[in-house]
Amino acid sequence: MDLIKNKASSTDGAREKRPAHEQVYNTLRSQIMYGELVPGQPVTIQGLTDSLGVGMTPVREAIRRLISDGALVFQGNRRVSVPLLTDGDVEQMIYSRIKIESELSRRATANVTPQDIDHLEQIDQRLDRTISDGDVSGYLRLNHRFHETLYGHANAPILNDLAERLWLRFGPSLRVVCGRFGTQSLPDRHKDIISALRNQDADLAAKATAQDIEQGMELMADALVNA
């Protein structure tokens, strides 16, 4: 069953196998998603070639991909920057996220094993710690990981893809909200989601997901209006 090709050994052999443009993409994606880049901040090709130590071709490809993702925007004259959200954007995102991610939760409910649920709970416990510690970066990462892991069980790559796209768009702005309000006030309906999963109650899982989304996004909308 297992091929002998030996592409990557189990420890850390898989590091340099990925092409550079993919690595650049993942690096930038993380930086954008987890708020290391501020909305409105310009992104230059040459700056990235210098700071990342790769040629410009991989950087160009990664940037194009991120523009297509909506994670970066092409500002008219050859300028690229991190997007600034309008309140209209946020309102559309609330609608889309609720429709798509609730459905992902619903579908995941039928597929998750008890071990999967335990894993989710473990992520959520670590998430709680980041909240009480005021660890914004940790919060952003683990919150995303929670949803990503949950949705991964839905076996719905197309819906998943749409959801990821939306996360990429509001990531930078979410960071700004945390910087403004701190992590204490952040919503967390994850306990409700987990309990719904345990009870195999797909409708409830969908509902709790919708609430989690709505609360978080409303908070973001408020912060953007006041900004």
Task: Give how many residues touch a second copy by CB under 8 A.
Answer: 31
Give dist(CA 93, CA 213) in Å, integer: 10
Give the other-Cβ count within 10 Å of 74's Cβ.
12
Nearer to DNA by Cβ, of 70 and 152: the residue is 70
| Residue 49, burial from CB neighbour count under 10 angstroms (0-12, 13-18, 19+) | middle
Cα distances (angstroms) measured from residue 43 to each of 20, 40, 78, 143: 18, 9, 11, 26
Asked whether position 19 contacts DNA by CB under 7 A, the answer is yes
Q: Which of 32, 140, 123 is nearest to 80 (CA)?
A: 32
Per the listing, tokens 């708020």 go with 35
- Per-residue tokens: 116: 């999967």
Q: Which stretch binds a second copy (CB under 8 A): 89-97, 115-123, 126-134, 178-186?
A: 89-97
Task: Give me the least distance between CB of 15 and DNA, in Å please.
Answer: 12
Strands 73-75 and 79-81: antiparallel
Secondary structure (3-state) at 81: strand
Binding mask 184-213 for DNA (x = CB under 7 A): ------------------------------
Residues numbered 146-175 forming contacts with a second copy, rule: CB under 8 A: 155-159, 161-162, 165-166, 169
Return the residue of 100, 127, 131, 150 that touches a second copy, per CB under 8 A.
100
Asked whether position 162 contacts DNA by CB under 7 A, the answer is no
Nearer to DNA by Cβ, of 29 and 107: the residue is 29
Residues numbered 70-109 forming contacts with DNA, rule: CB under 7 A: 76-80
The binding site for a second copy (CB under 8 A) comprises 21, 57, 60-62, 64-70, 88-89, 92-93, 95-96, 99-100, 103, 155-159, 161-162, 165-166, 169
